[in-house]
Structure 1
């Protein structure tokens, strides 16, 4: 016997969705029944494969990590209104990161006297019946819909996936009453395979010829051009175009609040990263006369720093340049374009070369000229100085020999990250995609980006949003996604590293995340930047930003109620307990013996355990307390 649930699952599988991250409830009997039918009538497996997630926030974070790695949507199945709400901040993250995910939630039955199969038979079904379930998440979704009939189930799923995978990509939310998913369907509906060639994603859009010429002309004539980006590297094919444009015209690339590897660290015109706090904007912003903002969440904070009023600003975005899902978003610009970054960069490069050739005919070529060479040499020198400062910070350990007014710190964040980077690259000397780093360092976001020095597009990711608790679940999903990519292309991840801080370890529901890692054999290394609490921009840094010398400026984190003192949790042992002893963990930085040698040996041992023994490892790095 087939049901609407049979069609729902088959349509997901036909669409290429290989995994569903699931927390089951009373609204899912028909789905559970059909999955068992698949096992008995097939080879014992199911399509899609089910990943049980004891927490919905972790489930959606895992699905996000999977989709970020594969570029393909995963499915998430949750329980009525309460499961929908339990996805919590992960809903925000998949929206802001433009990650395609299909979320399905059941709903309380609409009948209560056995009028239909699946009618209400549990008391909670009255409590969980709310007037508009999808309203809980609608403003974060690209599309929401109710499945009303088994006969139209495939069409609803196809439409939702078409929207989810079109720019601006993102999550979609489907829901259905229990009776609908129990509806019996003829075998003919199952035999009609879903034709997803008839439901394609929207093709990437290019710049108009006028726009590409206008932007190319401005960059070619600029005295001090600047490129700012945040997430261009989500399309790895765009990175080569960005580097080519930067190299051709000696343009510095400033990465503002990055969420992907947009430019290799070693690129000599890489001007570094900024999270736009006062005094950290790129020094090129104030002097730039032409600025290309491309695939960027936020190029600058006007109240902290801004370009000259005379600067020519061009804004390019692949799907939502006006940020219609943000309440207030405006930057004065000469031109705003909705265009795919890969296509747009190719057009701009072509326009620049064509314009320069025309100038060469009258003796005025710019490409290859002395002014560009001089600018490139200056930028390369600045990049070298930046690299040297990072080296110095990594190799300078705290002086613990003299008197100290407060708790002694034996290691610093640059110490930890320098050791971690060298250890991972020793493991993967080609700097390839054998290692994936997930950055949820929060107040140390910029340091992770800078000191890990990523080279390969896709090798370092963030949540793309601001809700903490993404990294642990994402590590599980990314490991599974890496296996899928490896099966398709012969190369996956040998090592997944989650760098967490400012409470994001606890927000990640480690009791669920490490149970999942053990259950599905997805080992990863967790490095905890343990500063004793939340030193995120909110609350303590936000308070200091408004009250830099106020009453709270000298108060400890614990006194301000943003710390975990007097005794911080032993994060590594939480992972050990959650995995029933399978995970390995160690705390470093707690004594005079916890300097460089112990840090290096511990990180090396942790990597060995993950790669060779296929177990999770957690290194809890105790830093200066907030």
Structure 2
């Protein structure tokens, strides 16, 4: 492949087809491909090295699978001849070590399709089939591999010239059956307290408008649970909330679930957690599930999805969300316009259409007022969390009050700094324990303006940010859709992202982005998991993250923190993450840490306003570096320690 690419450069004027982006790390490469595909809606390809390169894809394999992102992965393999029987035979000692019985088994359970390419004569058919499967719901990764002799095979010119380069055709989106569309529409029209839940509907930006239309027609509140993209504009008055179903953020969501008599689940893997909150189990709540690719969640091994989710599930439908909602909207409009034979039946309980229409109008008006009230209360709570008076945390520490920047005010500051380009900005979030706060305070309005991996493997955001920029550039030429791409990561996910490679690519391919590190000093999510099972256990009284073995801090004198965890936060220091980016780019990237100890004057006497002003000035300068100087900028924001 290297020889062929160089032949193209020499004989073709310097360019290559396909365009090659060199990446020093496989997981970063696949994360970049994921970001590319998410930004463009088109698959990207990743080329890796034999079995070891396949393993080095690491958790990014999980992310493209769970995120339903179409990516083609191609891996070489050790030659199968060793005595020069064919061109490309084994000629290096390592080729014996890198040969394994079933290379594709490394990743098969995450793939939509795996295949070995056995000859160059049918390579077009194999690649097209792989892309066809990757881009058909449920979309996802595919894996092809071939040994070196195959790659060296000579193809007759006549055969090569006869190959068609027409793109692979994916399967068209599916619709609801007429019966299912009628049943769901009837349930929504006769419901007193309907509720819509979605997680990933916004992966198709056109579906967002359809969802807003349905919600507006019938005044149905919407919850976005564990989202991977923007499903509903933040300003939509029927958006009741965004939740990751954590113990501290589920009150409103729990109330809506318990009060709902009809729940419509659209493209969601985890609409609720049965052990924490769920619709009523007395039979008074009907649940309808629509998913475009895998409504039964066949990749989840334990139990049956519908029964484990809720006993009131009435229908599970494989249908494209945009298409299905369009069907329901049309039926609703026909019903509102007047009685039509074959349209909604059985919902009037013998009443005339006029009576049914009057009752429906009254219910819609009541729901409308309640939805507006819920939305306004939610926004008010978010505004209060962003106010200067609550933008820091004060807690006793040896008799001294400590001040800390919080995620709500950081997000408010980011919104203010980027307000002039908000419609042309992208947030790539890997905030993990702060996922919910970032989503709520991002105030995302536009489909595709916030992305997550859709999976659970850390290390996605840095590479994905580069990939999104490269995809944006490939789609629009020199006119970029995104003026600013911001990666928001925890300190743990920052290190998982292999920053030395991610920022190297950013400089090499002139793809600058802003990184905000939510630095809470370690892995907070494992601590929260522990407290979820043992809220009053021994771990609840741990003095530090280091004592729990999840902290990243050092003693300020560079000695190791003891297992007793007796060090206070006063002398805790953390790695200088921003300087990793600076070093990886030979000084091209810009970085700064924001914390109480990094204030320019009198940190011991700092006020909340001073800390927030320091944050604002730092984020403003960081955004300027990215927008004007076209360099990466990293802001390491020290939060309250876990």
What's the TM-score once normalised by structure 2's chain length? Answer: 0.89
Structure 2: segments with no counterpart, 5+ residues: 340-347, 555-572, 598-602
- Aligned equivalent of 1:595: 611
- Is 1:134 aligned to 2:108, yes or no? no
Which secondary structure state, in structure 1, belongs to the residue aligned with residue 488 of structure 2?
strand
- Is 1:557 aligned to 2:557, yes or no? no
Structure 1: segments with no counterpart, 5+ residues: 1-30
Which secondary structure state, in structure 1, belongs to the residue aligned with residue 202 of structure 2?
helix
- Aligned equivalent of 2:492: 503
Range with greater deviation from structure 2 (453-462 or 399-408): 399-408
- Is 1:411 aligned to 2:381, yes or no? no
Contact 1:409 1:589 in 2 (8 A): no
Contact 1:407 1:625 in 2 (8 A): no
- Aligned equivalent of 1:85: 55
Which secondary structure state, in structure 1, belongs to the residue aligned with residue 185 of structure 2?
helix
Range with greater deviation from structure 2 (469-478 or 371-380): 371-380
Range with greater deviation from structure 2 (231-240 or 118-127): 118-127
Please list every run of at least 4 consecutive aligned residues from structure 1 whose deviation after the TM superposition is greater than 4 angstroms: 399-407
Contact 2:501 2:584 in 1 (8 A): yes
Matches within 5 A, 1:18-97: 31-97=1-67
Contact 1:407 1:624 in 2 (8 A): no
Contact 2:395 2:401 in 1 (8 A): no
- Aligned equivalent of 2:334: 354
CA drift at 1:274: 1.2
Which secondary structure state, in structure 1, belongs to the residue aligned with residue 586 of structure 2?
coil
Question: What count of residue pairs does the alignment treat as equivalent?
Answer: 588
Deviations 1:153-182 (A, max 9, x none): 111101100100000000000000011101
- Aligned equivalent of 1:422: 416
Q: CA RMSD in A?
A: 1.7
CA drift at 1:190: 3.0
Contact 1:279 1:304 in 2 (8 A): no
Matches within 5 A, 1:332-343: 332=310, 333-343=313-323
Which secondary structure state, in structure 2, belongs to the residue aligned with residue 184 of structure 1?
coil
Contact 1:217 1:355 in 2 (8 A): no
The 1:261–1:174 alpha-carbon spacing in structure 2 relative to 1, beyond 3 Å, is: same
Matches within 5 A, 1:261-280: 261-278=230-247, 280=249
Which of 219, 225, 229 pairs up with 1:260? Answer: 229
The 1:471–1:367 alpha-carbon spacing in structure 2 relative to 1, beyond 3 Å, is: farther
- Is 1:578 aligned to 2:584, yes or no? yes
- Aligned equivalent of 2:440: 450
- Aligned equivalent of 1:111: 81
CA drift at 1:410: 2.8
- Aligned equivalent of 2:471: 481
The 1:550–1:117 alpha-carbon spacing in structure 2 relative to 1, beyond 3 Å, is: same
- Aligned equivalent of 1:315: 289
CA drift at 1:191: 1.9
Tell me how far apart the structure 1 counterparts of residues 393 and 49 of structure 2 sit (CA, whole Å). 53
Tell me how far apart the structure 2 counterparts of residues 622 and 475 of structure 1 sit (CA, whole Å). 22
Tell me how far apart the structure 1 counterparts of residues 363 and 146 of structure 2 sit (CA, whole Å). 64
- Aligned equivalent of 1:15: none
Tell me how far apart the structure 2 counterparts of residues 557 and 613 of structure 1 sit (CA, whole Å). 38
- Aligned equivalent of 2:535: 548
Which secondary structure state, in structure 2, belongs to the residue aligned with residue 325 of structure 1?
coil
CA drift at 1:349: 0.8
- Aligned equivalent of 1:625: 641
Tell me how far apart the structure 1 counterparts of residues 42 and 200 of structure 2 sit (CA, whole Å). 17
- Is 1:386 aligned to 2:378, yes or no? yes
The 1:366–1:270 alpha-carbon spacing in structure 2 relative to 1, beyond 3 Å, is: farther
CA drift at 1:486: 2.0
Deviations 1:20-50 (A, max 9, x none): xxxxxxxxxxx11111111112121111111
Contact 1:423 1:604 in 2 (8 A): yes
